[in-house]
Amino acid sequence: AQSVTQLDSQVPVFEEAPVELRCNYSSSVSVYLFWYVQYPNQGLQLLLKYLSGSTLVKGINGFEAEFNKSQTSFHLRKPSVHISDTAEYFCAVSPAQGGSEKLVFGKGTKLTVNP
Amino acid sequence: DSGVTQTPKHLITATGQRVTLRCSPRSGDLSVYWYQQSLDQGLQFLIQYYNGEERAKGNILERFSAQQFPDLHSELNLSSLELGDSALYFCASRGGRTNTGELFFGEGSRLTVL
């Protein structure tokens, strides 16, 4: 079974500052990793994903994440945030092969960007 | 727009009642997943269907059931509703000809039980 821990439930930052949202996972098998964003009163939208290959993945809206297998982490970063990045961010994991391939989500990190 | 459609968007009902939530997956997607999002539990996987067959079950209560029809749309039935069932229910789909790993989510059905 897989599990995800998002270490910060809330992250406040100022506009144009860098941000890192932390995610650690646990799994006995190889995994795929995802970051989703949820804006108020909306569904979940994929920001980026790691399936294989380069451990640094780039996503939409200037976000990137780095897969670190030895530390079982997949932290999300953005060098300069905007007010519009205020949202809740979810890290998710699924087994790379076999099974139902359901996504297991962390509890989310609320990013608040202040002017 | 993810291509996944959920109805209704909002639903208010009373304890003890029964409701049905409907989901139309993206065109060509064979898998449908249901998730429940609540403040205390976060996003919890409920159940998955693949091409009409139940594929995996998560923390789904016995009062809840789901099915996927031949046209691939899915329904989640919630019965004997309790206050604690108030939540946002998401449907997601995946598994068309090109499976790129991620799930595509609808905008959710917000259920309020009074």
List, for residues B6-27, the tens digit of each pLDDT value. 999 999 999 999 999 999 999 9
Query: B-chain residues within 8 Å CB-CB of A43?
Result: 2, 4, 90, 105-108
Smallest Cα–Cα separation from A47: which of A67, A62, A69, A32? Answer: A62
CA angle centred on A33, ends B96 and B111, rounded to 5°? 70
In chain B, which residue's Cα lies nearest the Cα of A5?
B42
In chain B, which residue's Cα lies nearest the Cα of A47?
B102
CB contact under 8 A, B102 and A44: no
Distance CA B28, CA A1 (A): 28
CB contact under 8 A, A42 and B106: no
| Contact criterion met (CB below 8 Å) for A94 and A101 | yes
Q: B-contacting residues of A 35-74, CB under 8 Å? A: 36, 42-46, 49, 51
Q: How far is CA B41 from CA A25, A87, B45, B87, in A?
A: 18, 18, 11, 10
Band of pLDDT at residue A58, cut at 50, 70 and 90 = very high
Query: B-chain residues within 8 Å CB-CB of A50?
Result: none
Q: What is the pLDDT of residues A90-110, one digit of tens each?
A: 999 998 876 557 899 999 999
Of the candidates A34, A100, A108, the beta carbon closest to that of B56 is on A100
Smallest Cα–Cα separation from B66: which of B103, B91, B43, B96? Answer: B91
Whether B97 shows a pLDDT value over 80: the answer reads no
Q: What is the pLDDT of residue B39?
A: 85
Name the strand (E) or helix (H) holding B59: none
Whether B96 shows a pLDDT value over 70: the answer reads no
Q: What value does the CA radius of gyration of chain B take, rounded to a whole number of Å?
A: 13
CB contact under 8 A, A100 and B55: yes
Token representation of residue A71: 């530390």
| Contact criterion met (CB below 8 Å) for B64 and B76 | yes
Best probe of the A interface among B43, B68, B89, by most A CBs < 10 A, is B43
Average pLDDT over residues A61-82: 96
Residue B41, C-beta contacts closer than 8 angstroms, at least 6 positions apart: none
Of the candidates B2, B33, B104, the beta carbon closest to that of A102 is on B33
